[in-house]
Amino acid sequence: NTRSSGYHQKALAEIRNSLLPFANSGG
């Protein structure tokens, strides 16, 4: 069940993209 750093990098990139449209201006 251990996760590779590749899994975490991919997850972080996906989350970043999903949050992007909601960022406060200047945030």
Partner 1 sequence: MAFSFLIRKKSTKSFPVKVITLDAELEFNLEWRATGRDLFDLVCRTIGLRETWYFGLQYQDSKGFMSWLKLDKKVHDQGIPQQIPTTFNFLVKFYPEDVSEELVQEVTQHLFYLQVKQAILRMDIYCPPEASVLLASYAVQAKYGDYDETSYQPGLLASEDLLPQRVIDQYQMTPEMWEDRIKIWYADHKTMSRDEAEMEYLKVAQDLDMYGVNYFDISNKKETNLWLGVTALGLNIYEKENKLAPKTTFAWSEIRHISFDDKKFIIKPVDKTSPNFVFFSQKVRMNKLILDLCIGNHDLFMRRRKPDSMEVQQMKAQAKEERSRRQIERNKL
Binding site for partner 1 (CB under 8 A): 1-3, 5, 8, 11-13, 15-16, 18-19, 22-24, 27
24/11 Cα distance (integer angstroms): 22
The minimum distance between CB 5 and partner 1, in angstroms, equals 8
The minimum distance between CB 18 and partner 1, in angstroms, equals 6
Q: What are the CA-CA distances from residue 9 to residues 2, 13, 21, 24, 25 (Å)?
A: 14, 6, 20, 24, 25
The minimum distance between CB 6 and partner 1, in angstroms, equals 12
